[in-house]
A and B are shown apart, each in its own frame.
Chain A
Amino acid sequence: MADIDSRVATELRGLLAGQRPLLRMALLAALAAAGLFILQSWWLAGLFSDALRAWQAGEPLQPRPIAGILLGLALCLLLRPLLQYLREICSDRASQRARAGLRGRVLDSLAQLGPSRRRLGADGQLASRALEQVDALDGYLARYQVQTRLVLMVPLMLLVATAWHSWLAAALLLLTAPLVPLFMVLLGRAAATASQRQLNTLGRMSGRFLDLLRGLPTLRHLQALELAEQAVDGAAEEYRQRTMQVLRMAFLSTAVLEFFAALAIALVAVYLGLGLLGLLPWARGEIPVPYQGALFILLLAPEFYAPLRQLGNDYHARAEAQGAMKELLPLLQCEVWHHTGSRPLLLEGAPALELQQVSAAGGQGRLRLAPLDLNLAPGQRVLIQGPSGSGKSTLLELLLGFVPYQGSLKVNGRELAELERSAWQARVGYLAQQPQLLAASVADNLRLAVPGATDRQLWGVLGEVGLAPLLRRLPLGLETPLGERGLGLSGGQQSRLALARLLLRDTPLWLLDEPLAHLDPDTAEQIGVLIDRLSQGRTLLLVSHERTGLDWLTQVLEVARPVEAAA
């Protein structure tokens, strides 16, 4: 736990360190504004002191000095808001840059994880981490750090100005000041946990909503809408309660701070007031602080606590940031396996694969893939069969470099784990079980894989998978839009489109996961023949339950279901 906290703190410090110049500028602007405030208060006190004296003496006020003071005041009142404006600009910019950088890192991590990201959460949750939780750092980045400096410097400036006129008033302020951070720390601790829980709840609520919305047709058909509505109500209510918990904590800490500030100011005011009346028990008949100084101190006193109060609010931003960072940590410091190989790979033609006792571990001592031997000469093609859950898909993900493995897996005699992953993947063609299509046009979906492909090339591959005649009949042709999850195409057509995309990339190794599962026997036969023709000269691993259309695959590898590892 302490370890996590320190890692969170390190990450947050790192973010701030990158934006030092802007934050320093913001600090300077705020300090200058505080200086102007002291000047403004002094002049205001002077003005009223003059007025009081003149009124007391029954003389008219001298317009010249008054005009001078008013001019000074005007200058202060003009410049102070301007400096605050400057501070905001600097802080916001710093926060934006830091957040953009962090989001970039989150995306990089996701790219490292590949299919293994599932272990860190559903896509909806991961997206909300990359978006909302990174943005949740805004308050901390933009305000907190500068405020932690101000909270020391500004009260110090005010304290010096106060002590100039009254040691006792300064001492009173000084005595109450430490109470404020004390309470803040106490409440802040609780707030950090609460706000992390709230963020978790938000992620869960989003995930639950997305899940139910996607499945609405099914829910409706099963007449299970009421259950879904209850689930929504439950998630919304949980989120409400968690949010209220966090807010209650925040409001309470602010209220406590304000209470202390009010108490201290009241004490100072009573001391000054009684002093002016000459009623102080230890100094009867004396006036320890004359009017101008007394009014000056009274004007300064609220501002003495203002930075602390602001920090109280921003402390909350810190708690929020810590909560968010805790969520981001697993993504930033990928504790999961990560492919470290760096040797470049030169693949001229189809590679040879040599697997010896290759296995993959799942969670909790389970095996996702039982130890397996396989030797493939360049251009050799193999059908992989086995019961559901035997790890056939895992084998393909493993070959892609996304899954850690035990045993030895050599590509042209080189260990896969030592190869540079992106160079390796550039030479691999992969087809997942679910056709992975975007809600975009057919052409866009194809060009996703090969951005520079010409229309001619697209028509070429579409022709080879048997989609060209259909698309030529459609008014929009290549620009025909697909819906979410390939809506508008039948299952078979989706598979063909995915196959077309594979052909477009033209790689020497193909890993195909159930490419024919959705096709009818006739078409499966045709596509099978097509795969046969197109995969000539490539090394091919093809996972399939059926042999239909795949008679040409002479080598068959049976993958057994992994036996439970002994506890």
Chain B
Amino acid sequence: MTEGQLRLRLSRLLHSRAAGWLLALLLGALALFSAIALLALSGWFITAAALAGMATGYMLDVFRPAAIIRLLALTRTLGRYGERLASHQAALGLLRDLRSAVFRRISHARQLPRRSNEAMHRLVADIDLLDQFPLRVLLPWIWASLMALLLLGFLALLDSRLLLAAAPGVCLAWVLPWLGYWRGGRLARADVEWAEARRSFLLDSLRLLTPLLIWQRWPGRAAAFTAQDQQYLAQQDRQQRLISRLTLLQQWALAASLLMVLWQGSLLIEDGLTVPLLLAAALALLGLNEALLPVAGSFVALGLSQAARDRLQALGRADQPTPEHDRPVPQAPFTLHLQQLSLRWPGALSGPSDLDLQLYSGQTLLVIGPSGGGKSTLLHWLAGEPIQRQGRALLNGHPPDHWDLAGVIGWLPQDVDIFDMPLADNLRLGNPAASDAQLWRVLEDVALADWARERGLDTPLGEQGSAVSGGQARRIALARLLLAERPILLLDEPFAGLDAATREQVMQALLRRQRDGLLIIASHQPVSAPDLQVVRVGG
């Protein structure tokens, strides 16, 4: 499984831990065989004992069968325990690897997931479904087939007519689960979809809980969710019923087989079949239930696995790993020339038009203009978003895509992301190696040091920064960006929600830090800087 290009194939899932799966397979087969043989051998033993007791002179070796019975009891218990440990160890390891690999793929894909809820659900719940394939499909089928064959072999050894009597029922019980192949697969696919829809709906509802409550719309929203929940439950019910019905039919098929064996056997007793062996055959047939019934649900499980696999596959599909040309990194001093530059988001009707400017290291550019006029569009484009461009743009004398700008440009977008981690960890996303002293310095620069001293660097910020105010979140994001020490800074509304004094303090720090770089700010607020250019975008 390479990064960026992860092809999921269910059969491949077993490769990474082949030894573990093989061990589980062997131990499971041993446990099942022991269980069936235990039943058959005890029946045989007690009947043989009765015979020996009735007829003097009929000698029975008591100790060897008794020892084998004890051994089988032991291998049954230990085998099952070992099989479960081995298979789940392998399965859970597999799931962990898949989560890591899928997250890497998502994070490197060119197109990021549009709905993070769905992507999260896939990483958590869909990946959990993938272990159904080995645990509930592959291993049970191998065991069921193996045990059925062994049993039929045993019957053939006793008498071929006994085999003929038993075979139709056993084969039917083996074939019946296949009836669930289509319907089970279809139901399972729908299941994943319903589950995902249910979760997304709930998450959206929770996000809007407060306004919905105030609008008195929560009861309606809750009712809609309940309806969705009911549909999901009904869907699960259909799956369960399918499995139950197939199990029922299997049990009947095996019952028919047992009755046939008993009838045929009673006729064969005169032909030399011994009663102890006939009982052994009948009990083994009863024991076969344990091996064959688990496969009734296998196709629903298979469907679940396949559906989960397809959805994971679709995450970030059509993605080649980003081409890594060896592009040079621009060095200070920087110059940015824009000539007759016009920008449009794909499908947008308007955007910044006919921009002309020349910006040099140490200078500050203030982008002003009305809301929706395209200030953010300009910053987005400078930050490397795919935006259609007309006109000329040169950075240090070359078009921007000539350069490797990943470590050069620092961008503070309008919506900042604060992570559910302590303050220090959030900041260190900008520079993992930053010392505490560096953190304090940058907090000082964004006028958060007093606040941080009150709370400590370990203060948790909450999901999406819910533990801090909107203005604080912006400044934390700014501090994080400053820690990354990018020579070109693009700041979209860095001062929103700040009072004039704080604004001035932050601006001075920005100027000091960007002395040799470029500082580009889109803002509604007035900004003062010694070497300031102002460009008006839109309107």
The residues of A with any CB-CB pair to B shorter than 8 Å are: 44, 47-48, 51-52, 54-56, 60-61, 63, 66, 70, 73-74, 77-78, 80-82, 84-85, 88-89, 92, 96, 99-100, 103-104, 107-108, 110-111, 114-115, 117-118, 122-124, 126-127, 130-131, 202, 205-225, 227-229, 232-233, 236-237, 239-240, 243-244, 247-248, 251-252, 254-255, 258-259, 262-263, 265-266, 269-270, 272-274, 276-279, 287, 291, 294-295, 298, 302, 387-389, 393, 400, 402, 422, 425-426, 428, 430, 432-434, 436, 438-439, 448-451, 470, 473-474, 483-485, 490-493, 505, 514, 517-524, 545
Contacts and interface: CB of A to CB of B under 8 A. Distances in A.
Contacts of B214: 400, 425, 428, 430
A237 B97 CA distance: 9
Given A213-B113, A217-B112, A259-B77, A266 B70 contact: yes
Contacts of B415: 485
22 contacts: A54-B269, A55-B269, A61-B266, A77-B251, A85-B244, A104-B222, A114-B209, A127-B199, A131-B199, A209-B103, A224-B429, A229-B103, A240-B92, A247-B84, A251-B84, A277-B62, A291-B50, A425-B216, A439-B204, A483-B114, A491-B371, A517-B497
Given A51-B266, A254-B84, A433-B469, 16 more contacts: A55-B269, A61-B270, A77-B255, A78-B255, A85-B245, A111-B218, A219-B417, A229-B100, A240-B92, A276-B53, A425-B214, A428-B214, A470-B372, A484-B115, A523-B370, A545-B499
B151 to A, nearest CB: 17
Contacts of A262: 73-74, 76-77
B349 interface: yes
B371 A255 contact: no
Interface string B355-395: 00000000000001111110010000001000000000000
A432 B470 CA distance: 11
A227 to B, nearest CB: 6
Interface residues of B, number: 142
B210 interface: yes
A222 B199 contact: no
Contact of B217 (A127, A211, A269, A448): A448
A523 B371 contact: yes
Contacts of B383: 221
Contacts of A223: 406-407, 484
A322 B441 CA distance: 48
A436 B270 CA distance: 85
A251 B282 CA distance: 30
Contacts of B471: 388, 545
A239 B96 CA distance: 8
A294 B45 CA distance: 11
Given A240-B93, A388-B469, A491-B414, A212 B207 contact: no
B366 to A, nearest CB: 12
Contacts of B240: 88, 92
B182 interface: no
B167 interface: no
Nearest to A431: B211
Nearest to A63: B266
A122 B413 CA distance: 24
A389 B46 contact: no
A432 B88 contact: no
A450 B211 CA distance: 12
A240 B229 CA distance: 28
A118 B198 contact: no
A255 B77 contact: yes
Closest 8 CB pairs of A and B: A492-B371, A77-B255, A122-B463, A215-B417, A262-B73, A255-B81, A81-B251, A291-B50
Contacts, number: 372
B49 A273 contact: yes
A104 B226 contact: yes
B49 A215 contact: no
A52 B481 contact: no
Interface stretch (B16-24, B118-126, B509-517): B118-126
A81 B247 contact: yes
Contacts of A54: 269
B120 A422 contact: no
B349 A263 contact: no
Given A277-B52, A493-B372, A514 B233 contact: no
A250 to B, nearest CB: 8
Contact of B411 (A210, A221, A490): A221
Interface string B197-208: 011001110111
Contact of A210 (B104, B117, B282): B117
Contact of B269 (A51, A110, A436): A51
B480 A222 contact: yes
A52 B51 contact: yes
A370 B247 CA distance: 67
Interface stretch (B141-149, B153-161, B257-265): B257-265
Contacts of B191: none
A358 to B, nearest CB: 20
B472 interface: yes
A266 B209 contact: no
Contacts of B270: 60-61
B340 interface: no
A450 B39 CA distance: 69
A339 B201 CA distance: 27
Contacts of A430: 210-211, 214
Given A228-B107, A393-B469, A78 B252 contact: yes
Contact of A110 (B47, B55, B206, B233): B206
